[in-house]
Structure 1
Amino acid sequence: MAKPPLSMKPTGWFQVAWSDEIAVGDVRTMKYFDQEMVAWRAESGRLTVMNAYCEHLGAHLGFGGTVKGEVLQCPFHGWQWNQQGRNVCIPYEDRPNRGRRITTYPVVERNESIYIWHDILGREPFFEAPDIFADFGDGKTAADYYPQQRLFRDSLEMHPQYVLENGVDFAHFKYVHNTPIVPKFTRHDFDDPVSYVDFTITFEGDDGQRIEDVGSGVEAINGGLGIAVTKSWGMVDNRTISAITPVDESTSDVRFMVYIGRPERDVRDPARAEAKAAEFGAEVIRQFSQDIHIWSHQRYSDPPALASSELEGFTAIRKWAMKFYPDGKGGSAADLAARREAMS
């Protein structure tokens, strides 16, 4: 991939793990946004994500650090750090070091996932991470679906914005996913940090049918650049979550999840119904993998050579995406620092 002229440190909610990957007492190492981090789960079940290095002498807390009740203990000298990143105990001193603090990140667990809030300006979250069930307002819960099926691809050369732009790219469905006709978008709402895109689509039939006669489609909710959730209607009941998280200045981790709805009535052969659901979920994941193959070799085209029918959607989503870059222009952290220096 040609490195995009976009910052790999956008603001928003981003997935760093699945909830079931970090049990009580676990300490997990990770790297995102060019920062070494650790995630650890306290005895109470509360999860903390913080920068990885002890403020004492710089030991990496992910290599030998241990959870002691509600704190994380450094493997080097036993200093203990709480869920706010503050030192609460130096075992060979009477008082902790109140002057130093490890950077921690706001965390939510939702969609069986762990999301952190990232903002290089240190602002508090100004929108919610989308919920795959509650945010569609139809009363459905995880109990109405088979277990979540997952895809994980690490350190791919791609930018999160590519995935979000895919959401308004109606033409690619026919040529990448072999839909019989090009879908029709019925909603583009990019007024707020959480945006909405709806479109009519079918994966069956032939190119002789009219889009007006199609009785199926997709509703999508985009929570910034990091998380998108979708709900399908008029076809096999499925919901998906895509989550793209920058690792460093050129790569991102990709996670994709799909839920397949359980039958509303009892079926004669539950095992066969579950197997069919697993097959359909695997097909949804396969189609997403087709997109990944393109994104990971893509060049960011700016300005793009858009067809007239593409202009409205791509213009709207690129303008919306600028909300999540601290300089409002998509520039890198270095660009932002240079502008601040020039203004001072």
Structure 2
Amino acid sequence: MVLPHAIEAVPAGDRYARGWHCLGLATEYKDGKPHGLNIFGKQLVAFAGDDGHVQVLDAFCPHMGANLASGEVRGNSLVCPFHQWNWGANGVCTHIPYATRVPPKARIQSWHTCEQNRLLFIWSDYEGAAPTPETAIPRINACFSDEWTPWAVRKITIQTNCRELVDNLADAAHFGPVHGSPASYFCNTFVGHIGYQMFHGSQSELLGNTLVADSAYFGPAYHITRMTAEVDGLPLHSVLLNCHVPINQDSFELRYGVMIKKTPGLSDDQNREIAHAYVEQAHQSFFQDVEIWHNKTRIDHPVLCEGDGPIYQLRDWYRQFYTDLARLPNDLRKEKVFELREGVWRTLSEVPPDAISQLHTI
């Protein structure tokens, strides 16, 4: 007698993924004001001083506990609203207006940040290690080209663990039932800190026909897609941003955005309208998943069938971001390739021509 499968789910624990997490458009933080951030189970504060660099600090002043997000920016320092202690970008107190000496313990955590592709990123690492050149966010030349519209970005809060979102990278089977866009071809490649997906679809209810989506997670939380589709009989080239930052283990901020290659003959305003309309379509697409996420349960050992693809292999790749650096597996840099062609999954020794990513050439 075959017994019912018991669903198992280990609590997510107290770690957040090691890697760069996107906080949206960098310009949003350069208005001369502090910005409170509720992420990684903590209260943080972002600000840009006169030098234009966006810094992130722990939000609570160690003097008497005030929230620095309620303070003000002066020069390159953040000033506490309670007693006006001044905090520099490195988290060290630089001035106390009613004291001649700053206590040596007057320092708070300063987080690594970077700007790339007109976006702001924050680095998280449970062990406290600094980012390495290997994990640098790759440049998207289209972000700096007049041939493309600027990012049109939207943010929503999702009430579940962020692993549910990352599972989509390998879940080819859900595209038809959920999004009305079944995969005619699908391939995953996992190598180092990058997880690739190549998707071909003959039709899409939301994102056009003859769809080709070339996408990748660069680390645990920053996902970029180069997409081509036919919309109203015309080719549309777009770059999609899909990034998340955990609020806690049961919720995360999802930011998604679109840039489109401008259509010759249309004004900048008309091209921006197309980009914003595409964001709205992406919004509908995400909410098709969100409705399911908000009503499902966490499951660590799903019962899979032969058509499900490399779900477990994806989770093995994703686990690296929650593992001590000294305990990472030795084969992380080896390409692992899984292809769905004509309804059959195959494990390959090299990436097939249909799945060669062009993300680095945008």
Give the TM bin, normalised by the shorter chain: 0.7 to 0.9
Distance 2:191 2:52 in 1: 36
The alpha carbon displacement at 1:140 in A equals: 7.1
Residue-pair matches, total? 308
**Residues 1:284 and 1:183: Cα distance change in structure 2 (over 3 Å):** farther
Say which of 106, 112, 126 aligns to 2:112.
106
Counterpart residue number, 1:308: 306
Contact 2:127 2:324 in 1 (8 A): no
Q: Does 1:11 align with 2:18?
A: yes
Q: Does 1:123 align with 2:123?
A: no
Deviations 1:232-272 (A, max 9, x none): 13542111111111112321111111112212x334x7655
Match of 1:162 in 2: 164
- Could you tell me which residue of structure 2 aligns to residue 282 of structure 1? 280
CA offsets, 1:65-91, max 9 Å, x none?
121101111122221111000111122
Work out whether residues 145 and 261 of structure 1, in 8 Å CA contact, stay in contact via their aligned partners in 2: yes
1:34 positional shift: 1.2
Cα shift readout 1:185-226 (whole Å, capped 9, x = no counterpart): 13x221211222222223259xxxxxxxx9641111202221
Across the aligned residues of Structure 1 and Structure 2, the Cα RMSD in angstroms comes to: 2.6
Amino acid at match of 1:307: C
1:53 match: 60
User: 1:229 matched to which residue of 2?
Assistant: 224
Question: Corresponding residue for 1:173?
Answer: 175
1:191 is aligned to 191
Matched residue, 1:25: 32
Residues 287, 244 of structure 1: alpha-carbon distance in 2 compared, 3 angstrom cutoff = same
Structure 1: which 5+ runs fail to align?
206-213, 329-344
- 1:148-169 C-alpha deviation (Å, 9 max, x unpaired): 2222112x22222221210211
- Equivalence for 1:322: 319
Equivalent in the alignment of 2:146: 143
After TM superposition, give the deviation of residue 129 of structure 1 in Å.
5.2
Q: % of aligned pairs identical?
A: 24
SS at match of 1:25: coil
* Corresponding residue SS for 1:144: coil
Distance 1:38 1:133 in 2: 27
TM-score, length of structure 2 as denominator length: 0.77
Q: CA deviation at 1:97?
A: 2.3
**Which structure dedicates a bigger proportion of its chain to strand?**
2
Distance 2:280 2:62 in 1: 45
1:153 to 2:156 alignment:
yes
Question: Which amino acid is 1:281 matched to?
Answer: V
Separation (CA, whole Å) in 2 of partners of 1:256 and 1:163: 13
Inter-CA distance 17–284: structure 2 relative to 1 (3 Å threshold): closer
Deviation of the 1:16 alpha carbon:
3.2
Query: TM-score, normalised to structure 1's length?
Result: 0.81
Superposed CA offset, 1:105-154 (max 9, x none): 101123433221111211111343544724xxxx7745322232222112
